[in-house]
């Protein structure tokens, strides 16, 4: 039996030792832990998926994603992908609309609200849609110059495979997202700021960063075959 997780160490502030210990006891009940990340120093999860004194059998799959990069004309200067728990999702939406509604950028905001029907509208210069299917989302990301989103691990895997420029706004109080955003900034891959501090001018910092990228594409492909091959 295999346990799939990017978190060997669970970041939770002052209780990180407790949450990590409890999580590791669960992992030890399985034959092997499969981590959707790269082995070695060049990786996406940092201290969460790489623990030096961890002895349980491990296998690194490379990042997993349903997305694929492809060349397509650029339609948007900025794609905003909202996600996460309320009320923070709504608070971020309100903050971004307030700051960007008079922007000169071509902006699409995917609100991350799933309903029976897609709902499109315009707020200032911002085109909004409540949700996109996987194929439409893949198209939107590939046709956008810059992505603004939460620094959740799924977003990081997707955008590293698509090799995009990113601006992260971690969900307030989520230690994992805050850690990942700080780490990727330190590695010169992505800019970020706290939710309350966002201003449109901060997006200009993105040009100083490399953007998210793959370290080993062949490892990612073999990881997908390994994971889905067991089914």
pLDDT tens digit string along 111-158?
988 887 888 888 888 999 999 999 999 999 999 999 999 999 999 999
Give the mean pLDDT of 73-98. 96
pLDDT computed for residue 215 by the predictor: 75
Q: What's the rounded Cα separation, in Å, for the pair 149 and 155?
A: 8
Q: Would you say 175 and 139 are in contact if contact means Cβ atoms under 8 Å apart?
A: no
CA 231, CA 7: separation in Å to the nearest integer?
A: 23
| C-beta atoms surrounding 172 within 10 Å | 14
Give the chain's largest Cα–Cα span. Answer: 55
7-11: average pLDDT: 89
User: Distances in Å between the alpha carbon of 48 and those of 8, 14, 25, 210?
Assistant: 6, 15, 15, 23
pTM: 0.89
Distance CA 215, CA 43 (A): 8
Q: How far is it, in rounded angstroms, from Cα 104 to Cα 81?
A: 19
Token digits for 108? 């699409």
The answer to whether residue 224 scores a pLDDT higher than 70 is: no
pLDDT band at 17 (very low <50, low <70, confident <90, very high): confident
Tell me the C-alpha distance between 142 and 163, whole Å.
Answer: 9
Residue 230 has pLDDT above 50, yes or no: no
Which one has a higher pLDDT value, 105 or 213? 105
Average pLDDT over residues 62-79: 93
Sequence ranges of the chain with CATH classification 3.40.50.2000: 76-208
Pick the CATH number of 76-208 from 3.40.50.620, 3.10.20.440, 3.10.20.30, 3.40.50.2000: 3.40.50.2000
Mean pLDDT of the chain: 90
C-alpha to C-alpha distance for 156 and 175, rounded to whole angstroms: 15
- For the stretch 159-209, pLDDT in tens is 999 999 999 999 999 999 999 999 999 999 999 999 999 999 999 999 999
The answer, yes or no, to whether residue 210 has pLDDT greater than 80, is yes
Residue 216 has pLDDT above 70, yes or no: no
Residue 205 near residue 218 (C-beta atoms within 8 A): no
pLDDT for 231 equals 44
Q: What is the pLDDT of residue 110?
A: 96
Query: Of 11-15, 45-49, 177-181, which has the strongest mean pLDDT?
Result: 177-181
Within 10 angstroms of residue 2's Cβ, the number of other Cβ atoms is 13
Q: Does the structure show a pLDDT above 60 at 222? A: no
């Amino acid at each position: 039996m295999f346990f799939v997780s990017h978190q060997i160490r669970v970041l939770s502030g002052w209780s990180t030792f407790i949450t990590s210990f409890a999580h590791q006891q669960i992992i030890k009940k399985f034959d092997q832990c499969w981590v959707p990340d790269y082995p070695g120093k060049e990786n996406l999860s940092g201290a969460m998926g790489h623990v030096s004194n961890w002895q349980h059998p491990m296998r690194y799959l490379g990042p997993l994603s349903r997305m694929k990069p492809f060349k397509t004309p650029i339609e948007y200067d900025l794609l905003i992908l909202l996600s996460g728990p309320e009320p923070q999702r709504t608070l971020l939406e309100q903050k971004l609309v307030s700051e960007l509604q008079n922007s000169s950028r071509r902006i699409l905001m995917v609100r991350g609200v799933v309903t029976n029907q897609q709902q499109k509208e315009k707020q200032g210069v911002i085109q909004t849609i409540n949700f996109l299917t996987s194929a439409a989302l893949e198209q939107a990301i590939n046709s956008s110059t810059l992505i603004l989103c939460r620094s959740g691990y799924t977003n990081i895997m997707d955008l590293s495979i698509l090799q995009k420029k990113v601006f992260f706004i971690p969900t307030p109080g989520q230690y994992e997202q805050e850690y990942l955003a700080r780490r990727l900034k330190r590695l010169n891959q992505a800019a970020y700021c706290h939710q309350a501090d966002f201003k449109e001018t901060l997006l200009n910092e993105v040009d100083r960063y490399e953007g998210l990228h793959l370290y080993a594409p062949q490892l990612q492909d073999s990881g997908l075959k390994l994971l889905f091959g067991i089914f």
